[in-house]
């Protein structure tokens, strides 16, 4: 298979794409892959490290308010479509996959206009602007949440789940917590506001440090690099002995997920794919700063299935966090029930499903 992939801007678009690429390579080791992103996006740092051929297009998103920048955006989109057509002519893909982000708009639009079979994947319950635009032109559409169906042409939609789920189920968990300065004899909670951290979650953690240190369970807190020193400056070192460890970032995050008792964090699509694939009980604090409040809608899909609890950020404080966390950690039966519900929502074969769709549309069936 000759596969062109485009997706960028955030890890939520990039990691699902990498999971599909991994699945394609496993099924067809001789496959040729090209990834198209932007030079400024996170993909420019992540994708080349995977040894995947990487090309860039210059593009930007529309401003939501009236702005002269939007005229520049239209011009860049037109130029990026021409550049994408050139790349497609040179690479000659059998099929093109888009996982979201503005760059995928130009690439998938160009491919569809050239008669190349195309598939887009929507990770969130609320459909992104780019995928909504592309839905009129592409061959097939994969979705992770049923709520997304209503915004797409019905005949094109296939429920696949998030391919990141396939990847995390295949990653071996760490053997011991000792490398993090934690005990292997205690239940472990992770509090994590995403790769860049979340200020409100971090500040709530500061207020909760003494309470967390007194529990029978232990807590691993990941602040994000940019917040780490500020948080450490506010905390007494005595409060970090034994039960609580704070890290700025964890490179091998997928390797620790399988050893967690509970995760407290955001409700991005990739995080929820990991949580459900591994059956991790969770307390979700959706970011209120994302487009169309889609993290709340993502989170509610788990809450409504008994797979998670939710704390809106505007209601988050130390008392609320500790109450929910302690209730969950004190009730083994409830935690086990939540874990089973999460696991039932998981899609561990999502990447395989997407590979099968790619193969199908490549053959024209």
Q: Which two tokens stand for residue 288?
A: 């209120």
116-143 residue pLDDT tens: 999 999 999 989 889 999 999 999 999 9
311-341 residue pLDDT tens: 999 999 999 999 999 999 999 999 999 999 9
Nearest 5°: the CA angle 35, 36, 42 is 90
137-179 residue pLDDT tens: 999 999 999 989 999 999 999 999 999 999 899 989 999 999 9
- Cα separation values, 37 from 153, 240, 352, 354, Å: 26, 41, 23, 20
What is the average per-residue pLDDT within 222-230?
Answer: 91
Instruction: Give 119's strand partners.
Output: 97, 140
Instruction: Give 275's strand partners.
Output: none
What is the average per-residue pLDDT within 29-55?
Answer: 94
- The per-residue pLDDT for 230 is 92
If one compares 194 and 24, the residue with the highest pLDDT of the two is 24
Residue with tokens 């994947």: 121
Cα atoms found within 13 Å of the Cα of residue 97, Cβ hemisphere only: 30
Q: Where are the alpha helices (DSSP H) in 1-68?
A: 11-27, 43-46
Which range (54-58, 70-74, 272-276, 302-306) has the least confidence? 70-74
Domains delineated in the chain: 2-162+348-362 (3.40.50.2000), 178-345 (3.40.50.2000)
Percent of the chain with pLDDT over 90: 79
Global confidence as pTM? 0.85
Sign of CA pseudo-dihedral 64, 8, 358, 1: positive
What is the average per-residue pLDDT within 50-57?
Answer: 95
Is the model's pLDDT at 261 over the cut of 60? Answer: yes
Question: Binding site for UDP-N-acetyl-alpha-D-glucosamine, residues?
Answer: 10-12, 124, 195, 250, 295
Helix (H) or strand (E) holding 98: strand 95-98
Mean pLDDT of the chain: 92
173-195 residue pLDDT tens: 999 999 999 999 999 999 999 87
- Report the distance separating Cα 37 and Cα 55, nearest Å: 6
Helix (H) or strand (E) holding 112: helix 102-113
The pLDDT confidence band at residue 72, using thresholds 50, 70 and 90, is low
239-259 residue pLDDT tens: 777 799 999 999 888 899 999
């Amino acid at each position: 298979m000759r596969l062109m992939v485009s997706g960028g801007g955030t890890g939520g678009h990039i990691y699902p794409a990498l999971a599909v690429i991994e699945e394609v390579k496993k099924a067809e080791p001789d496959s040729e892959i090209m990834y198209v992103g932007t030079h400024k996006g996170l993909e420019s740092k992540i994708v080349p490290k995977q040894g995947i051929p990487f090309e860039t297009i210059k593009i930007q998103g529309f401003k939501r308010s009236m702005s002269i920048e939007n005229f520049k955006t239209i011009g860049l989109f037109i130029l990026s479509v021409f550049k994408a057509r050139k790349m497609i002519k040179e690479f000659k893909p059998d099929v093109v996959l888009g996982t979201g982000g503005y760059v995928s708009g130009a690439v998938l639009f160009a491919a569809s206009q050239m008669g190349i079979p195309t598939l887009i994947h929507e990770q969130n319950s609320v459909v992104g602007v780019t995928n909504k635009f592309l839905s009129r032109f592409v061959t097939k559409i994969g979705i992770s949440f049923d709520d997304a169906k209503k915004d797409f042409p019905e005949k094109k939609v296939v429920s696949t789940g998030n391919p990141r789920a396939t990847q995390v189920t295949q990653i071996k968990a760490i053997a011991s917590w000792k490398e993090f300065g934690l005990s292997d004899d205690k239940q472990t909670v992770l509090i994590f506001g995403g790769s860049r951290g979340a200020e409100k979650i971090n500040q709530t953690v500061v207020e909760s440090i003494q309470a967390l240190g007194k529990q029978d369970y232990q807590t691993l807190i990941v602040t994000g690099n940019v917040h780490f020193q500020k948080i450490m400056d506010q905390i007494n070192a005595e409060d970090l002995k034994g039960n609580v460890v704070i890290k700025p970032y964890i490179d091998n995050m997928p390797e620790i997920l399988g050893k967690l008792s509970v995760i407290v964090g955001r409700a991005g699509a990739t995080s929820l794919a990991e949580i459900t694939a591994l059956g991790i009980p969770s307390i979700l604090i959706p970011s209120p700063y994302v487009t169309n409040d889609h993290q709340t809608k993502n989170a509610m899909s788990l809450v409504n299935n008994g797979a998670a609890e939710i704390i809106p950020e505007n209601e988050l404080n130390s008392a609320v966090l500790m109450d929910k966390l302690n209730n969950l950690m004190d009730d083994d039966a409830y935690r086990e029930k939540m874990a089973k519900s999460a696991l039932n929502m998981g899609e561990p074969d999502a990447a395989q499903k997407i590979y099968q769709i790619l193969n199908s549309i490549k053959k024209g069936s």
